[in-house]
Structure 1
Amino acid sequence: MTGMRGLSVFISDIRNCQNKELERLRIDKELGNIRTCFKNEKVLTPYKKKKYVWKMLYIHLLGYDVDFGHMEAVSLISAPKYPEKQVGYIVTSCLLNENNDFLRLAINTVRNDIIGRNETFQCLALTLVGNIGGREFAESLAPDVQKLLISSSCRPLVRKKAALCLLRLFRKNPDVVNVDGWADRMAQLLDERDLGVLTSSTSLLVALVSNNHEAYWSCLPKCVKILERLARNQDVPQEYTYYGIPSPWLQVKTMRALQYFPTIEDPSTRRSLFEVLQRILMGTDVVKNVNKNNASHAVLFEALSLVMHLDAEKEMMSQCVALLGKFISVREPNIRYLGLENMTRMLMVTDVQDIIKKHQAQIITSLKDPDISIRRRALDLLFGMCDVTNAKDIVEELLQYLSSAEFAMREELSLKAAILAEKFAPDLSWYVDVILQLIDKAGDFVSDDIWFRVVQFVTNNQDLQPYAAAKTREYLEKPAIHETMVKVSAYILGEYGHLLAGRPGCSPREMFSIIHEKLPTVSASTIPILLSTYAKILLHTQPPDLELQNQIWAIFKKYESCIDVEIQQRAVEYFELSKKGAALADVLAEMPKFPERQSSLIKKAEDAEDTADQSAIKLRAQQQPSNALVLAAPQPVNGTPPPVKVPSMSGSVQDHDSAAQSHSQPNGTLSKVEPQPPSPDLLSDLLGPLAIEAPPGSLPTDERGGSTGAGGVPDVVDGAAIVPVGEQMHTVEPIGNIAERFHALCLKDSGVMYEDPYIQIGVKAEWQGHHGRLVLFLGNKNTSPLTSVQARILPPVHLKMELSPVPETIPPRAQVQCPLEVINIRPSRDVAVLDFSYKFATHMVNVKLRLPAVLNKFLQPIQLTTEEFFPQWRSLSGPPLKLQEVLRGVRPLPLPEMVNLFNSFRVSICPGLDPNPNNLVASTTFYSESTRAMLCLVRIETDPSDRTQLRMTVASGDPTLTFELKEYIKEQLITIPTGPRATPPSPLAPAAGAVAQPSSPAVAADDPGALLAGLL
């Protein structure tokens, strides 16, 4: 770029732009100038073409689309001079992908450079081919690249680039690159003395043997010789020695290649390799230098992997375990993590489990590590090393840790503790104790599979039934227990409670009473189990207790009209059967034994691997659809909108199948139903962990409200989609609650805004002053393209918004990004709307979504001292700059939670400014084009005896801002808004600018006599 003054001036102009708008104008001007110059080929000299192509690359790196000039960039590749050829190669590899048609024009030129004699041109060509790696390049150029690699006349620099280029082509197109008979060539390359070429060749070898190791047995002894050379530091140049370690990268690659070979049969080679590995194991220690630690431990852990792969002698395995035991006790968290991970892998090797058990105390200590990833690895290791000899100790430790474990680990912890208790239980009564403790300590995180399993064990083991009934009876005496405990206790007592007859507190009436106390606290899914339990208690009450019978009959009669079909059917059938006497005994006979089968818990644990892909699949499999429907209707005729159907509040009936639940059958018998695992959605998450799950069982929220506001905000947002399919109605149901997603995005800057079976719309935002930049992520979740994609912004008048063009088609399983620029002109609570539509197959879907460009996004919290706050507070005397309102019906929040609420919408609490501990003082700065940076002050006076009312005072230097901020905080304190609101009448009188006071009570903030009745 030396000597190109125009390019330097252009870069300086871009850097000097005050804002994004000026930058865009400058770039548009430059692109227009470049386009004009490219059209006039007579005055387009090679120098100018080079300069303009450099500018195109710079604009592309800034994130702007450059959709022209590709031919000019490709044509520079054939230039005879290095400066023009260099820019051609660099810009082509950056701007074009492997499917671009322009690349076909350059294949011959690139090939001529590769087979030519100019080494500089060869390096440029190899870099381009390696970066793009297309199929046509592989078919046409791979043989020439292979010739360069094995050529003895080329310099090491060229051969090194050739090896990396061939590696890239092989990874992308293994069927195109011809590596037949390449084994001898690879063995020769491993004799190379230049470590740069050797390292690149070893990378190629790893790819080749991972695909087919059988053809490369001749390379195995050569790899061992490389390791010997490096271990003894023989003939290793200084530039390849990293902190005293000879070429750690080459050592790691070589040992990785050896792990693809199943075994080493030659005794001499095996002995030499183990000597090298012994030297690595003995010579590695933790030092203070971080860089040296990283390099030495990379070599060490690869050596440990190789030792495990080769199934070394027990003495060496013991040495490896001892070394790992040393690592899991050091302070460096990365080393502890690797130590635990590799010790878990060592469990797969025979005869080392007893050695690992010696470090059990240290592993248990790692469960309390501050780093959750280390805690997970410690849990995995404890799970793997458990057997009959130490199961009791490990499970007791897991149960003890369960009480203090964070929520992110409790489900996995509960599952693994349940599996260990089942596999290694010294006796079944201990197993029942463990499961009941699990449910008691972590009920929310104990899956139904766990209590299904304990019911199966109790049902199949007659000697266990009285003990299990007695233990569940004890747990029911607790004043507050989890609903899962109610389920398992009710089921076991219904089946086997009669076995406790004669014990204190175990009469039928007493058991009914203690179970019935829990009925008001359970959900609809548990009531059927309780009704079955009542019927069983009635059956086993001998002689009949008329008073108890009347109580149970009254409950059955109460639920005969229940809206839940399952509850209603059970109540009706049990009531009628209980009148028939003997028929009840036949129907409610003791449940038969379960057939022996593999534990569903073990299968569940095997499926739940701790990887990003599995986490995304698990999230989607567990995600429950929201009740907020996206409605469908025929297209409006003659401009008349179709009628809108509102979903019923009852929702659908949930079917609760389980191995422990009994279901009434037409023939009058009760059968056990096996729990069916949810079918996993194998679609990978397009936006990673941005998905927000709707709370299960939430009622549908009416998202339709408010008239069209200023700025064109439509009547219906957040969930109205029109999908014409012939003459029939078709519904598309969103995944998750759209309103809750919107409110979550109002308090954070990234997340999923909308998702349905076809598309996922995510948003990521940055805010600075009165400017905002949002990026909309449109992800196609299907294997078919989405067509006719359209998006337009319906902004309110106080926001200036510009959305980048949206492509009309989103390819299958692809994601596009659409930047959205936002400028806040004045304070307002009005909300912008995204009007989005797309076509999938024959379905046209349209949704209108609120955008999280709301008032609090333009706030910046600020902490003020007493000297800074009170002069500003006194200077804003009375309306319209200072408004006060008494709020009733406030959500009763403790003061710490109210502080967190204010902080969440960027209003900072200033502690110590108000002497009354029940009051809060807060401050923030609001940014807009009209107000610039405007200081806002807030005072909240609460009543400790009644948290549902308070007095709020808001002050700022702008009347509109004061009113809007007061109303916004009021909305947050009273309730979370659930839909778009109608635009309120402007608080400003258009002519004079005087503030029209709201209808709610408002008094002068400085009037000492204006005390809130009943509050102060």
Structure 2
Amino acid sequence: MALSGMRGLSVFISDIRNCQNKEQERLRVDKELGNIRTRFKNEKGLTPYEKKKYVWKMLYIFMLGYDVDFGHMEAVSLISAPKYPEKQVGYIVTSCLLNENHDFLRLAINTVRNDIIGRNETFQCLALTLVGNIGGREFAESLAPDVQRLLISSSCRPLVRKKAGLCLLRLFRKNPDVVNVDGWSDRMAQLLDERDLGVLTSSMSLLVALVSNNHEAYWNCLPKCVKILERLARNQDVPQEYTYYGIPSPWLQVKTMRALQYFPTVEDPNTRRSLFEVLQRILMGTDVVKNVNKNNASHAVLFEALALVMHLDAEKEMMSQCVALLGKFIAVREPNIRYLGLENMTRMLMVTDVQDIIKRHQPQIITSLKDPDISIRRRALDLLYGMCDVSNAKDIVEELLQYLSTAEFAMREELSLKIAILAEKFAPDLSWYVDVILQLIDKAGEFVSDDIWFRVVQFVTNNEDLQPYAALKAKEYLDKPAIHETMVRVSAYILGEYSHLLSRRPGCSPKEIFSVIHEKLPAVSTSTIPILLSTYAKILMHTLPADPELQNQIWAIFRKYESCIDVEIQQRAVEYLELSKKGAVLMDVLAEMPKFPERQSALIKKAEDSEADTAEQSAIKLRAQQQQPSNALVVTDQRPANGSPPVSQLGLVKIPSVSNVHEQDHNSVDQGITQANGTLTVVDPQPPSAPSPDLLGDLLGTMAIEGHPGDVQGEKNLASGVKGDSNVEEALALAPVEEQTNTVQPIGDITERFQALCLKDSGVLYEDPYIQIGIKGEWRVHQGRLVLFLGNKNTSPLTSVQAIILPPSHLKMELSLVPETIPPRAQVQCPLEVVNLRPSRDVAVLDFSYKFGTHMVNVKLRLPAVLNKFLQPIPVSAEEFFPQWRSLSGPPLKLQEVVRGVRPMLLAEMANLFNSFRLMVCPGLDPNANNLVASTTFYSESTRAMLCLIRIETDPADRTQLRMTVASGDPTLTFELKEFIKEQLVALPTAAPRPATQVPPPQPQPASQPTAKSDPGALLAGLL
């Protein structure tokens, strides 16, 4: 744009460029915007020159990134100016500042139409450019016929017709129902006879849009497209200005081949022969040269030709030629070309009869796994995964296992899943499959999903010949001094079921098997302990009564965990101890697992299913969920009046066998236990309407109520209900309560409770004289499951109970409906499913209300589904840390900030605090002893597994400040994690924080509160 002659604009641009910092620039922009606003108010005194100058300034300010919320009318009014300079600025600024739905555009429709149908070609081009950029429905309704006439007019210059073609393309794409193209087949065929390549290129773009919508009406254009390709391939009558680095109009070639791919086939033999001759010429004439621009243009044509060859299902000879050409590309030094070669070779796998040809390049593809560029490594992984079959599965899986040790964290989860799927689909024998999966868990246990080892268990259980071999391999891995927890799980399970098959082998006696498993117990998490307890019970079953010493050792472990705070561990310990005293009963209950029913692999199904559901599928799922009963569990406190002994001191009358649970057939062996009149009975709950996704749900356990050893778990009843949609939830969230000001005051500080739950997974979220709301969470990668425990502390029911989740945009949350009434001294469990979509610090809110007598209580509570819940600590070595740290060179992937106002603390105390944030402190990486380096992995649907690195630099002279550097591969994640850590550090209380595993003691009851004979607050806090 020519800005000469406008001195004020030139001076303003110079002032902006001379600003020393962003603040000076903002002040100068604000001053100028104020001046422009004042001048526009006195518009009567403005000359066309001044108005043009101020509008140009507005555009420049907008291009700098500032909001310009006025002056739009002045810009639109310049469109109707009679002179070109004013009309030009009007069109340009309107195109930049307004969108297609802006109301001011309606004022300009008539002016734009007059310019289009006028005789001034310059004005026609300006108007067509405006409509082609921001033309909406009203423009399409008013101007489409005029634009169509310009396109097919023989009296218009090619420049105008070219812009008319692009303008019509915009209008048709945005409003295909408004633009009338019926009967345009012959006109499009005429346009394809154009000699001017500019008009021909814009017409071809329009044809691509038309045939993508309805190819049946444009069959007569297919021979014309082939002739255009022939003309370009032979460089016939192609002007020099349309030749790019010696390639005749590569853009037109690409568009033409794209249009041909919308036709299902080429039926005419002469046309088909001519087309394949052109494609053969393109394949033969493309090579890698030193000029990057020429490479880009020629490869754009080549890869579109490859796509057309695959679409037309060409002869095997041409397919072989394509694969050979791509084989040359994946071996060149230029990374972009290697990437394109691998990507297109992967696409060619979809074509039959080329897999054997691609296998010839397997060594080069494997070499690409070691490429410095992660995108090339990903494409090589996809290609190896696609080309694998029975003949080469062993070689490819072995290479992938070797690569797994050096692969970056961002790829390990995907790589692990693909190795598992290949091993299952193409295993020559099941023993090889077991070897591969155990190696996979050994090398990358942190990135191996539970579905993988569940599948191994299913294969071993269903194949008797495989059981001794699998048990022996599990024993070998357990003999290692350090293995991943997932390996402990699968090995313990297999040995629990089949270690008796190894009893005659040296070093495999029951006592030795127990000893090697028990060595791993101190290092595992609470979710693994139930599996180990089940294994001990199985070992005990096979040795009773031959080894009293081993029996006493196992009994001592069961007694130790009888008082564990985790309900799953406590229940198993109590039940296994009592069962083991019954002798034959233990043999019946812990019988060997039956065979699993044959069904499609969950891993293969996961790979085949599309990640995004269609709207129809989502609606079907929603309707299905609304028809399912609620998962809320009502637990009634029924303490016996005669002071009966606790569960651990009683024999169980009846218990279901933990072996009778198949994959996805049962949720858990969690049973309701009711104690009445001194008799203990086990009540089976009704089976849930939806199957569990876990193969070994009974071994992993489900969320349940945790109690003191002497407490008795009440009966569990399924409370039915339907799930409300979001509109209903929003309406309920805004509905007024009877009393806006709560007369009932909470017990304890709600903010402190929330902050404590941000660092641990269970505790009390809210408590008042009538109700206690506890929470317990389980988190796995980007998904979580919270259970809300709503406990009525009184002898009267709570009525009008409502619980509504108000989730932020980055969380997908589904809550089981709460019964409207909570019985006296009862507790309701409400499962809440959480899916993290992207990184954010926004917090979900629980809008909870209930009525007790005349008191209506409504509270809004923040839920601890916060950013650090989706972190998984991960250790990194110096060899892994420093390349990642250096690759994230600066903003926005690496951010640094000095944090002031931090509570002074020792370095060890700060390390413990970071561990509670789920950040693993890595000692020895920073040479400065006053600094900390931490690492973690963040999980969400958008980022998947994303490695995060943190460095904290402290000043021994001033512990109230520190410098923090956070780095990750996602800019949003880096910023959100930095702000989260800063907020946590600044919000620290003056006293040291409680450990993450500590459960806060129950709050004392106020004197004015209604009380029962026993302290309900203490009871419900114990349940948490």
TM-score range, shorter chain: 0.5 to 0.7
Task: Give the AA of the match of 2:694.
Answer: P
- Alignment match, 1:60: 62
Q: Any idea what SS the aligned residue of 1:443 has?
A: helix
Hey, what's the Cα distance between the residues in 1 that align with 2:843 and 2:417? 44
Task: Give the AA of the match of 1:382.
Answer: L
- Alignment match, 1:968: 961
Q: How many residues align?
A: 748
Query: Paired residue for 2:357, among 330, 334, 355?
Result: 355
- Alignment match, 2:126: 124
Change (3 A) 1:668 1:548: farther
Q: Any idea what SS the aligned residue of 2:669 has?
A: strand
Query: Paired residue for 1:517, among 509, 519, 526?
Result: 519
Hey, what's the Cα distance between the residues in 1 that align with 2:204 and 2:30? 47
Conservation of the 8 A alpha-carbon contact between 1:703 and 1:980: no
- Alignment match, 1:991: none
Change (3 A) 1:427 1:901: farther
- Alignment match, 1:267: 269
* TM-score (normalizing by structure 2): 0.66
Change (3 A) 1:597 1:295: same
Query: Is 1:35 paired with 2:64?
Result: no
Percent identity of paired positions between Structure 1 and Structure 2: 77
Query: Is 1:897 paired with 2:926?
Result: yes
Hey, what's the Cα distance between the residues in 2 that align with 1:674 and 1:835? 28
Query: Paired residue for 1:561, among 560, 563, 583?
Result: 563
Query: Is 1:405 paired with 2:398?
Result: no
Q: Any idea what SS the aligned residue of 1:968 has?
A: strand
Hey, what's the Cα distance between the residues in 2 that align with 1:715 and 1:526? 25
Query: Paired residue for 1:552, among 533, 551, 554?
Result: 554
Conservation of the 8 A alpha-carbon contact between 2:319 and 2:354: yes
Residues 36-115 of structure 1 mapped to structure 2, 5 A cutoff: 36-115=38-117
Hey, what's the Cα distance between the residues in 2 that align with 1:561 and 1:287? 74
Hey, what's the Cα distance between the residues in 2 that align with 1:247 and 1:180? 30
Query: Paired residue for 2:321, among 319, 322, 326?
Result: 319
Query: Paired residue for 2:493, among 491, 494, 514?
Result: 491
- Alignment match, 2:940: none
Residues 758-769 of structure 1 mapped to structure 2, 5 A cutoff: 758-759=807-808
Residues 95-494 of structure 1 mapped to structure 2, 5 A cutoff: 95-494=97-496
Change (3 A) 1:367 1:500: same
Hey, what's the Cα distance between the residues in 2 that align with 1:407 and 1:587? 42
Change (3 A) 1:226 1:323: same
Task: Give the AA of the match of 1:454.
Answer: V
Hey, what's the Cα distance between the residues in 2 that align with 1:839 and 1:41? 53
Shift of 1:32: 2.9
- Alignment match, 1:15: 17
Change (3 A) 1:468 1:217: same
Shift of 1:425: 1.1
**C-alpha distance after superposition, 1:224-263 (max 9, x if no partner):** 1110000000000001111111111111111111111111
Hey, what's the Cα distance between the residues in 1 that align with 2:407 and 2:359? 23
Change (3 A) 1:204 1:781: farther
Hey, what's the Cα distance between the residues in 2 that align with 1:610 and 1:473? 41
- Alignment match, 1:535: 537
Shift of 1:60: 2.0
Hey, what's the Cα distance between the residues in 2 that align with 1:237 and 1:565? 81
Q: Any idea what SS the aligned residue of 2:156 has?
A: coil
Hey, what's the Cα distance between the residues in 2 that align with 1:839 and 1:97? 39
**C-alpha distance after superposition, 1:733-768 (max 9, x if no partner):** 99999xxxxxxxxxxxxxxxxxx96446xxxxxxxx
Shift of 1:467: 1.2
Residues 855-1004 of structure 1 mapped to structure 2, 5 A cutoff: 896-899=925-928, 964=958, 967-969=960-962, 978-980=984-986
Conservation of the 8 A alpha-carbon contact between 1:93 and 1:132: yes
Hey, what's the Cα distance between the residues in 2 that align with 1:243 and 1:382? 35
Change (3 A) 1:17 1:489: closer
Shift of 1:19: 3.7
Shift of 1:85: 0.9
Q: Any idea what SS the aligned residue of 1:897 has?
A: coil
Hey, what's the Cα distance between the residues in 1 that align with 2:117 and 2:926? 72
Task: Give the AA of the match of 1:3.
Answer: G
Shift of 1:846: 9.3
Hey, what's the Cα distance between the residues in 1 that align with 2:441 and 2:388? 22
Q: Any idea what SS the aligned residue of 1:193 has?
A: coil
Conservation of the 8 A alpha-carbon contact between 1:587 and 1:668: no
Deviates more, 1:265-274 or 1:577-586: 577-586
Query: Paired residue for 1:675, among 694, 709, 714?
Result: 694
Change (3 A) 1:296 1:566: same
Hey, what's the Cα distance between the residues in 2 that align with 1:82 and 1:109? 14
Conservation of the 8 A alpha-carbon contact between 1:414 and 1:446: yes
**C-alpha distance after superposition, 1:608-627 (max 9, x if no partner):** 7799xxxxxxxxxxxxxxxx
Shift of 1:413: 1.5
Query: Paired residue for 2:669, among 663, 674, 679?
Result: 663
Task: Give the AA of the match of 2:272.
Answer: R
Conservation of the 8 A alpha-carbon contact between 2:922 and 2:933: no
Task: Give the AA of the match of 2:101.
Answer: N
Question: Cα RMSD (Å) of the superposition?
Answer: 4.7
Hey, what's the Cα distance between the residues in 2 that align with 1:733 and 1:85? 66
Hey, what's the Cα distance between the residues in 2 that align with 1:47 and 1:886? 68
Change (3 A) 1:432 1:893: closer
Shift of 1:354: 1.0
* TM-score (normalizing by structure 1): 0.66
**C-alpha distance after superposition, 1:665-686 (max 9, x if no partner):** 57799999651899xxxx9xxx
Hey, what's the Cα distance between the residues in 1 that align with 2:381 and 2:546? 52
Task: Give the AA of the match of 2:95.
Answer: S
**C-alpha distance after superposition, 1:395-452 (max 9, x if no partner):** 1111122222222222111111111111111111111111111111111111111100
Conservation of the 8 A alpha-carbon contact between 1:163 and 1:201: yes
Task: Give the AA of the match of 2:10.
Answer: S
Change (3 A) 1:114 1:887: closer
Change (3 A) 1:781 1:981: closer
Q: Any idea what SS the aligned residue of 1:99 has?
A: coil
Conservation of the 8 A alpha-carbon contact between 1:718 and 1:847: no
Conservation of the 8 A alpha-carbon contact between 2:597 and 2:662: no
Hey, what's the Cα distance between the residues in 1 that align with 2:847 and 2:545? 69
Hey, what's the Cα distance between the residues in 2 that align with 1:99 and 1:38? 24
Deviates more, 1:226-235 or 1:17-26: 17-26
Shift of 1:781: 9.1
- Alignment match, 1:790: none
**C-alpha distance after superposition, 1:482-510 (max 9, x if no partner):** 11111111111111111122111222111
Conservation of the 8 A alpha-carbon contact between 2:140 and 2:171: yes
Shift of 1:83: 1.1
Alignment gaps of 5+ in structure 2: 614-657, 673-681, 703-725, 727-748, 781-804, 814-836, 850-857, 868-890, 900-904, 912-920, 935-951, 966-980, 991-1024
Hey, what's the Cα distance between the residues in 1 that align with 2:354 and 2:270? 26
Hey, what's the Cα distance between the residues in 1 that align with 2:93 and 2:859? 41
**C-alpha distance after superposition, 1:82-134 (max 9, x if no partner):** 11111111111111112211111111111111111111111111111111121
- Alignment match, 2:577: 575
Q: Any idea what SS the aligned residue of 1:502 has?
A: coil
Hey, what's the Cα distance between the residues in 2 that align with 1:277 and 1:162? 31
Conservation of the 8 A alpha-carbon contact between 2:286 and 2:299: yes
Conservation of the 8 A alpha-carbon contact between 2:907 and 2:930: no
Conservation of the 8 A alpha-carbon contact between 1:703 and 1:718: no
Task: Give the AA of the match of 2:986.
Answer: P
Residues 509-908 of structure 1 mapped to structure 2, 5 A cutoff: 509-541=511-543, 543-607=545-609, 659=663, 663=669, 674-675=693-694, 758-759=807-808, 896-899=925-928
